[in-house]
Amino acid sequence: MRIDIVSALPELLESPLNHSIIKRAKEKGVVEICVHNLREWSKDKHRKVDDYPFGGEAGMVLMVQPVFDCLAELTAQRTYDEIIYTSPDAPVFNQKTANELSLKENILILCGHYKGVDQRIREHLVTREISVGDFVLTGGELPACIMADAIVRLLPGAISDESSALSDSFQDNLLAPPLYTRPAEFNGWGVPEVLLSGNHAKIREWQEQQAYERTKALRPDLLEEENHF
């Protein structure tokens, strides 16, 4: 899989995309992630990529020209399954979306910044818009990293135990059950006996019940989407 990310401030992407699971996935050839500096397509002598919006609203907007030229060059090199724009007024990213995008071959993520991007880019070039929540960030770089992380860990070979990703929260519209590790006793706090029993059927039954109870208490909206019990 290949993920291209276009940003006016690509340095904001450096650390999240070069450590931990993503770093190892890149080294193993599971994913290729290419970050592009939008300023390289600017025709301004100072490499400016933003300007004031028409209509007098405060803030700055990414200009149509550098974004258009950048996407034109990248799409001439390969076909993208999705050209995604990160925006707070878009549908919210979730595990279902991550699963869907992990099956694609090439995706491009355009990071909004400042007040966003010229609407003509959204209307004519973007195929999908995604938000990471009902709040506003300085730019789309952090959302791009969040999406890349969620997608990459689902790719075959990205993590050593592939079944681990399938048991994460939200994969079946349930939160994950509580987790414990060694020691079994610490500071007077014990681990549930069932987890130490070696009875895998009983353990699975306990985990399923705990997942349901946690979801019911913390995220009942997930249970409304699908009737599990």
- Which domains, and CATH codes, for the chain? 2-152 (3.40.1280.10), 169-225 (1.10.1270.20)
pLDDT 10s digits, 141-170: 999 999 999 999 999 999 976 555 655 656
CB 115 within 8 A of CB 61: yes
CB 130 within 8 A of CB 86: yes
CA angle 23, 29, 139 (to 5 degrees): 45
Least confident residue range of 126-130, 139-143, 182-186, 221-225: 221-225
pLDDT 10s digits, 9-57: 999 999 999 999 999 999 999 999 999 999 999 999 999 999 999 998 8
Eight-state DSSP code of residue 89: T
Alpha helices in the chain (DSSP H): 20-27, 64-77, 95-101, 119-124, 141-152, 162-166, 200-218, 220-225
* Region 200-211 average pLDDT: 96
Residue 229 pLDDT: 46
How sure is the predictor about 173, in pLDDT bands with cuts at 50, 70 and 90? confident
Residue 56 pLDDT: 87
